[in-house]
Amino acid sequence: MTAVANPIPAAAPTAHIKPPAGKLLRNVRTIRMIWFRELIRLRRMPTRIISSIAQPIIFLLVMGAGIGSLVGDKGAGGVSYQVYIFPGILAMSIITSSLFSAMSIVWDREFGFLREMLVAPVSRGSLVLGKAIGGGSVSVAQGLLLIVFAPLVGVHLTVPRVLGLIIALLLLAFALSSLGIVISSRIQRMESFQMVMALVMQPMIFLSGAVFPLTSLPTWLAVLTRLNPATYGVDLCRRILIPQAAPLTLFGNPVPMWADAAIILFLGAAMLGLGIRLFANAE
């Protein structure tokens, strides 16, 4: 009796193996993940939203009313003092939120999460860009909450002005978030971060023209205000909301609004590049 040969077993169907994502796609996903993480962090800390708008409101309503009674109704740029400082208060909110958004980097470093991100197979530039976009988005969201107070102080809003203001705040938030990343990239402890940011933030705010006009200043003070990058952000926001406001002057010439935006954008790009370089050398 002849033996029947065993039939050749059919080849098992090959499982579909998903190819690994490309480098560009991984970096885009990383940027989106870090940006989304910053938004989640904001949602889980409602006290951060309250505290971020409390100080600007105090400046606007309390200090604005107090000093406004001294300078008069038309004592600051031809408008009331509260109207004059309103764009500066918006910029002040962006400056504070953007710089302190980099606190998450120090926090992640202390708890080891930053090391896990640094060893991931993604570009470190995507990590920095995600932090900058996330911090800037959070700052602008907090700053826009203050727009509801514009009619209360006499600021007239139109759709073009609001759109222009959003663009200006986005530029300012991106630049200062990148600056905050550069500063925090070499800070190891939360206590040191808060001290350094206080030293950076307070002069930046008070030398930006947010609370007083930058005219008839001593020469040394005028030079410091022009070296302050936040000055150009405040000037851009003020001229968008108050078209009749006197423009910032540089070497005796008025600074065009496009130049304000270009200076802020250049600062943001330079700080972003420096932050990427610092993170590339981080261990």
> What residues does each domain of the chain span?
25-280
Model pTM score:
0.80
Burial class (CB in 10 A: 0-12, 13-18, 19+), 19: exposed
Report the 10 Å Cβ neighbour count for 117. 19
Per-residue pLDDT at 1: 44
Per-residue pLDDT at 73? 56
- pLDDT for res 48: 67
- Residue-level pLDDT at 257: 93
The tens-digit pLDDT sequence of the chain (283 residues) is 444 445 544 444 544 444 445 777 877 887 888 778 777 777 776 666 677 677 777 777 777 666 766 665 555 566 777 888 888 888 888 888 888 777 777 776 666 666 666 666 677 777 788 888 888 888 888 888 888 888 888 888 889 999 999 999 999 988 988 888 888 877 777 777 778 888 888 889 888 888 888 877 888 988 999 999 899 999 999 999 988 888 888 888 889 999 999 999 999 899 888 888 877 665 5
Distance, CA of 222 to CA of 277 (rounded, Å): 33
Instruction: Count CB-CB contacts under 10 A for residue 34.
Output: 21
